[in-house]
Amino acid sequence: MDKKAWAIAAVTIVLVAVLGVGCWWLMTGGADGYYYVQIDNSKTEPLESKGGIIDPTGGMSLSYTLPGYDKDGIQKEISFGTERELREGAYLRLTVLPIRGVVEWVEVQPDDMPAKAREHLIPPE
């Protein structure tokens, strides 16, 4: 093999490695992370399954679209599905992954939220 062929092979290997690491990073949560929301049941929409082999609703019957705040207090409009109506006023920590969106939610107490997220979600007394 001549030098040009070796160079092309080396560049191809490097590009495939970089692309692979980039895809892995996006799919496993290399960005986004946790967002905190407060449940407002007036912000739901019903989801209807269209049937077929792949169900884009994931079997969920409701969709929430709420303002979420990260640990730095940066807002992002977040949509996620649930199987039932959630407790009005509850605080949730959403695990958000690039491309996939919300993959998990768990109810948290106000003291469990970062201060900057809490400032936006809990009005001062």
Residue 83: the pLDDT is 87
Find the mean pLDDT for residues 41-45: 91
Sign of CA dihedral 97, 101, 107, 110: positive
Residue 24 has pLDDT above 70, yes or no: no
Strand 62-69 to 75-82 pairing: antiparallel
Q: pLDDT confidence of 8, banded at 50, 70, 90?
A: confident
Q: pLDDT confidence of 54, banded at 50, 70, 90?
A: low
CA distance 124 to 115: 12
pTM of the model: 0.70
Mean pLDDT of the chain: 82
Residue 50: the pLDDT is 63
Residue 111 has pLDDT above 70, yes or no: yes
